[in-house]
Amino acid sequence: MPTSRSNDPTAAALRGALAPTRRALLVGLAASGLGACASNPLGGSLAAAQEKPVASPEFRAWVATFRPRALARGVSADTYDRVMGDVVPDTAVYEFDKSQPEVQQPIWRYVDKRAGDYNVATGKKRIQEYAPLWDRIEERYGVDRYVLCALWGLETSFGDLVVTPKYNRPVVPCLAALAFGEPRRRAYWEAELLNALVIVDRGWAQPSEMIGSWAGAMGHTQWMPEVWLAMGVDFDGDGRINPFGKPDDALAGTARYLVERGHWRRGEAWGYEVSFDPAFDWGDADAKTRRTVGQWIARGVRRADGQPFPDPDSVARIWLPAGSNGPAFALLQNFWAVRSYNPSSKYALAICHLADKIRGGGVFVRPWPVDEKPLSLPEAQELQQRLTALGFDTGGADGRVGEKTQQALQAWQRSVGMRPADGYPSDKVLERLRGG
C-alpha cells in the first residue's frame, strides 16, 4: 500500500471529541452486522428503527470550511455536497493507525509469516493462471512477475480480500476522519480525500464502490486515490481504470509505479543474501553506504550461497536487519523500488523473499536469531532516549526502532568501540547503554 504513517499522540483530544456515544456505537455495530439482531413486533430488526449515526457539529463545520478546497481542485459543488453532505467520519481509523505490523513485529516473524507455505503455493498458481498477463506486463514495464505477484499476495492475498467485508471499509469516511482529526499528517490526508473526490467527480467510481483499508487504499494492490489518478493504467482496454474486478489494471498500474516512482531496473535482481570475510568493516553495513558489487567484494562481501555475483558494476548497500547474528543482504536498486510502494524495509524484504520462493527458491542460508529477546516498547523508548541524550539522533523516542534509530545505534557502537557495530537493538546493547 503506497501510503504514509500517522501516529501523533496529540490527536488524542480530537479523537475524544469525535468518539461516538454508546447509543451511536451500538447503532453502528448493528448496522454492520456486528451487534445483536433483535426483532421488533413488525418483523424487522431494532437496528432498522434506530437513527443513523450523525457527525459532530465540529466535523460538520470542518466539512463546510473544506468545501472551497475541493471546488478549487475542480470537484463540482454537486459532487461535494452529495458525497460530503452526510458523511460520518470513521473514527476507528485512529486506533488502527496505532498498531502496524511493519513496526511492531520482529522482522523474522513478519517476513516468515508473509513468505509462508500458503502464499508460496497460491503465488505459484497465480503465476500460471495469469501467464499471458504477466507476459504483457513484463514486456511493457520490465518488472519481474514474481515480485509483482508477491506484492499482490501481501496486499490482498492475491485478490481474495479485495471485496471481503471483514477487511474493507468505505474509504471516504476513513479519509474524512483522518483529514479532520489527525493533525500530524493532516496535509497528506486532506490531499488524499481531495483525490478521492476527484475520482467520484470524474465518474470513475461511486463512493459506495470505493472500499478498502482504513488508510484509504483500494483494490488488488491497494492503491491510494492519488495512485489511482496518477499511475492507473487501462490495461484491459475496457475504457476505464479500475483497481477492482479483473487484476489487469491494478497489476499494470503497480508495475508502472515501481518503474516511474521506484526506478525499477529491468533485468536486475532485488539483491542477494551475503556473508562476510573476517576482515569486513561492520561500519559499512549501515544500509546507506553505496558501492559497486565489485567494491563490496574487495571489502570481503560474498554471496551466502557461494555463487558469484552476476554484475559487479551494479550498486548495492549492505543491510543487517537482525544484526550480525542473522541473515545479511546486499540490496540493489530493485529492493528500493519495492520499498517505494510502502516505506518499510520489512515489507520490501517480505515481498522479495516471497517472490524468490514462488520462483522456486528456499529459505535464507543463515537463519534468523529467533532466540533473541525483542525489546519491549518501554525498553525501545529507553534506548532511543539514552542515545538521544548522548547526542545520537534517533528521530524521536516513540519506541519504533526504524532505520534512523538503527543508524544512531550503530554510530554509538562505533564511538565506544563495540564490535560488531551492527545497529541491532538487543537487550545486551541496552544494558551497555545503561552502563554509560
Alpha carbons 342 and 336: distance in angstroms, whole number: 10
Segment 139-178, tens digit of pLDDT: 999 999 999 999 999 999 999 999 888 889 999 999 999 9
**Is the same domain home to 396 and 352?**
no
Q: For residues 211-231, b (16+ Cβ closer than 10 Å) or e, as one string? A: bbbbbbbbbbbbbbbbbbbeb
Q: Report the chain's mean pLDDT, rounded to a whole number.
A: 86
In a domain, 277, yes or no: yes
- Mean pLDDT on 222-240: 95
pLDDT class of 209 with cuts at 50, 70, 90: very high
Intra-chain end-to-end CA distance of the chain, in Å:
41
For 147-184, give the DSSP string. HHHHHHHHHHTTTTTSS-GGG-EEHHHHHHHHHHH-GG
**Could you tell me the sign of the dihedral formed by the alpha carbons of 313, 314, 315, 320, in that order?**
negative
Q: What is the pLDDT of residue 372?
A: 84
| Whether residue 247 has pLDDT greater than 50 | yes
| Whether residue 232 has pLDDT greater than 60 | yes
**Is the same domain home to 352 and 417?**
no
Alpha carbons 231 and 233: distance in angstroms, whole number: 7
pLDDT class of 43 with cuts at 50, 70, 90: very low
**Is the same domain home to 387 and 421?**
yes
| Whether residue 38 has pLDDT greater than 70 | no
The DSSP bridge pattern shows strands 315-319 and 301-303 to be unpaired
In a domain, 341, yes or no: yes
- Give 223 or 419, the one with higher predicted confidence: 223
Q: Give the domain extent around 400.
A: 377-434
Q: What is the pLDDT of residue 32?
A: 32
**Is the same domain home to 275 and 351?**
yes
CATH code (residue 313)? 1.10.530.10
Q: Which of 325, 359, 393 is the last residue of a domain?
A: 359
Q: What is the pLDDT of residue 373?
A: 83
| Whether residue 28 has pLDDT greater than 60 | no
Alpha carbons 332 and 265: distance in angstroms, whole number: 9
Secondary structure E strands in 277-400? 291-292, 301-303, 315-319, 328-331
Alpha carbons 253 and 246: distance in angstroms, whole number: 13
Q: What count of other Cβ atoms lies within 10 Å of the Cβ of residue 96?
A: 14
| Cell numbers linked to 149 | 505477484
Q: What count of other Cβ atoms lies within 10 Å of the Cβ of residue 95?
A: 10
Could you give the C-alpha distances from 279 to 156, 287, 299, 407, in angstroms and in order?
44, 19, 8, 21
Give Cβ neighbours of residue 216 (< 8 Å, ≥ 6 apart): 3, 171, 174, 175, 178, 192, 196, 224, 225
Q: What is the pLDDT of residue 143?
A: 98
Backbone phi and psi for residue 55, each to the nearest 5 degrees, phi listed first? -80, 155
In a domain, 279, yes or no: yes
**Is the same domain home to 275 and 353?**
yes
In a domain, 200, yes or no: no
- Mean pLDDT on 98-109: 68
| Helix (H) or strand (E) run with residue 273 in it | strand 271-276
C-beta of residue 199 within 8 angstroms of C-beta of residue 225: yes
In a domain, 328, yes or no: yes
Segment 349-374, tens digit of pLDDT: 999 999 999 999 999 999 999 988 88
Phi-psi region of 24 (alpha: psi -120 to 50; beta: other; left: phi over 0): alpha
Q: What is the pLDDT of residue 106?
A: 87
Q: What count of other Cβ atoms lies within 10 Å of the Cβ of residue 127?
A: 16
In a domain, 16, yes or no: no
Q: What is the pLDDT of residue 364?
A: 97
- Mean pLDDT on 72-83: 98
**Is the same domain home to 341 and 276?**
yes
- Mean pLDDT on 36-44: 32
Q: What is the pLDDT of residue 422?
A: 87
| Least confident interval from 17-21, 98-102, 161-165, 168-172 | 17-21
In a domain, 133, yes or no: no
- For residue 39, give the DSSP letter: B
For 310-346, give the DSSP string. S-TTSEEEEE-TTGGGS-EEEE-HHHHHHHTTSS-HH
Q: What is the pLDDT of residue 31?
A: 32
**Is the same domain home to 343 and 292?**
yes
The DSSP bridge pattern shows strands 315-319 and 211-212 to be unpaired
Q: What count of other Cβ atoms lies within 10 Å of the Cβ of residue 354?
A: 25
Q: What is the pLDDT of residue 321?
A: 92
In a domain, 324, yes or no: yes
C-beta of residue 426 within 8 angstroms of C-beta of residue 376: no
One-letter amino acid for residue 217 of the chain: A
Alpha carbons 359 and 239: distance in angstroms, whole number: 33
| Whether residue 283 has pLDDT greater than 90 | no
**Is the same domain home to 337 and 280?**
yes
- Mean pLDDT on 87-106: 75
- Total domains in the chain come to 2
| Least confident interval from 42-51, 163-172, 426-435 | 42-51
Q: Which of 359, 394, 424 is the last residue of a domain?
A: 359
Alpha carbons 226 and 285: distance in angstroms, whole number: 35
Q: What is the pLDDT of residue 281?
A: 87
